[in-house]
Amino acid sequence: MERLIEQAARSLVRGGVTSTGNFVLCALDRDCVCNEEGPRANAARAVMKQLGIGAFIHGKPSFPVPAMIRFLCAQTDMDYPRDSETRTFLHRLPVCDGTPSSMAEALRGHRAALCTDGTVIASGMVSPQEAAVNFSSACFSVYVKFMTDCLTAASSGAMSPALTDTLSRVLPSVRPLVCPSVQKRGPFDRASQVISAMVEAGRLTVECGLVDSCFGNISFVHDGILYISQTGAALDELDGCIDPCPLDDSGGTITASSEYLAHLGIVRKARCDGVLHGHPKFAVISSLHCEEDCATRDACFTACPAKRTVGGIPLVCGEVGGGAHGLYRTVPPAVADSGGAVVLGHGLFLAVQNDFSQAVARMIDIENRCITDFRRRMEKVL
Ligand SMILES: [Zn+2]
Ligand SMILES: [Zn+2]
């Protein structure tokens, strides 16, 4: 269990979600094991006991999320973000004051909650990894929620003094991402080269801030086989977590990414070598901000009918996984046309050709366009 806790803790720190010394992560083995001891660990044990859960995390996210949380907690009628992480994992983020009993109360029926002091708590039924993913999702949701609120308020001329104040502290942290250099160049002759290129691309995608390590996925076709990251695998630790899947309709392995069908559809329809999928924050934020005159205004978070582009590529709707509204149906045609697509409230799918260098650079470019556009809009209202 110590090893699992350490693994989950490392992935949070590497992804920049929080930093060492700023969080307690506990899980139930024979006893409750924590990554640190002290008052925070004692409180964590009390919460776990009250709720009967197997894993728990309480921590301070990296800047600027705590400032955003304090702002959101002071709102009387907070509505919740509609990005994919929130819809999939959280549904709602309750608020508590940080005492053990209030934390237990807030987590009853919820996977994560916000504390008024700017920290986040999250639970896992069994594994510390599950608690870490919920913690990370909550941080992502807060970021997206705050920034989309800023876009909405700025475009309707409704910036409150409190929002302006928090935004002016947060905005300097919004800077263009730096494009990493991809060393593993194609064409690849052997499967082992494909795998090491995927491991490198996954790590770089996380390191440069295009996705939290718990999310995103990646694939590449070699010799009639689609190599794809496993579901739930940390994108920056893919070694040993890549599955070979057939390219025909015989189906993927049970551990293959939940987006296996989307990847398969993309490589077939767009005739590309692979797919890079990330959740760059500002592409997601821009996708959630609809300025068109849509009749279904309230539904624009999930089903915007307007033909929009984000960062220069088409925006499509689509839910995670299969089903009639699955993104495996909507994304492949858009990627075939434009080499990439933004899924509303979710992230980016890009076609990969020859190796991952161009796709990584393109994802950085799209995100940086969204960042520049966001900064321009915010600087006008500050
Ligand atoms: Zn995704
Ligand atoms: Zn719309």
The predicted structure's pLDDT at residue 182? 97
Please check whether residues 220 and 116 belong to one and the same domain.
no
In a domain, 156, yes or no: no
Please check whether residues 235 and 134 belong to one and the same domain.
no
In angstroms, what is the span from residue 197 Cα to ligand 1's centroid? 20
Please check whether residues 214 and 337 belong to one and the same domain.
yes
Q: Is the predicted pLDDT of residue 196 greater than 80, yes or no? A: yes
Please check whether residues 74 and 211 belong to one and the same domain.
no
| pLDDT tens-digit series, residues 127-182 | 999 999 999 999 999 999 899 989 999 999 989 999 999 999 999 999 999 999 99
Say how far apart CA 187 and CA 273 lie, in whole Å: 10
In angstroms, what is the span from residue 279 Cα to ligand 1's centroid? 6
The predicted structure's pLDDT at residue 77? 60
- Provide the residue type at 27 as one letter: A
In a domain, 207, yes or no: yes
Please check whether residues 250 and 323 belong to one and the same domain.
yes
Give the total number of structural domains in the chain. 2
Of 83, 110, 141, which residue sits at a domain end? Answer: 141
Please check whether residues 99 and 219 belong to one and the same domain.
no
Please check whether residues 87 and 228 belong to one and the same domain.
no
Domain extent, residue 76, equals: 2-141
The predicted structure's pLDDT at residue 313? 95
The predicted structure's pLDDT at residue 79? 58
Please check whether residues 79 and 208 belong to one and the same domain.
no
The full 3-state SS of 34-71, as one line of letters, equals: ECCCCHHHHHHHHHHHHHCCCEEEEEEECCCHHHHHHH
Whether the Cβ atoms of residue 76 and residue 162 lie closer than 8 Å to each other: no
In angstroms, what is the span from residue 164 Cα to ligand 2's centroid? 25
| pLDDT tens-digit series, residues 278-326 | 999 999 999 989 888 888 767 776 778 889 999 999 999 988 877 788 8
Please check whether residues 9 and 128 belong to one and the same domain.
yes
In a domain, 163, yes or no: no
Q: What is the mean pLDDT of residues 8-21?
A: 93
In a domain, 228, yes or no: yes
The predicted structure's pLDDT at residue 360? 98
In a domain, 277, yes or no: yes
CA dihedral 34, 37, 38, 39 (to 10 degrees): 10
| Tokens 């996708």 belong to residue | 287
In angstroms, what is the span from residue 156 Cα to ligand 2's centroid? 15
In angstroms, what is the span from residue 248 Cα to ligand 2's centroid? 36
In a domain, 182, yes or no: no
In a domain, 177, yes or no: no
Q: Is the predicted pLDDT of residue 358 greater than 70, yes or no? A: yes
CATH number at residue 25: 3.40.225.10
Say how far apart CA 138 and CA 120 lie, in whole Å: 8
Tokens representing 361 are 């650079």
The predicted structure's pLDDT at residue 294? 86
The predicted structure's pLDDT at residue 83? 66
In a domain, 157, yes or no: no
The predicted structure's pLDDT at residue 297? 67
68/15: higher pLDDT: 68
Please check whether residues 132 and 60 belong to one and the same domain.
yes
Please check whether residues 112 and 224 belong to one and the same domain.
no
Quick one: pLDDT band at residue 82, thresholds 50, 70, 90?
Answer: low
The pTM for the full model equals 0.93
Please check whether residues 36 and 125 belong to one and the same domain.
yes
From 240, 235, 237, 241, select the one nearest 211 (Cα to Cα): 235
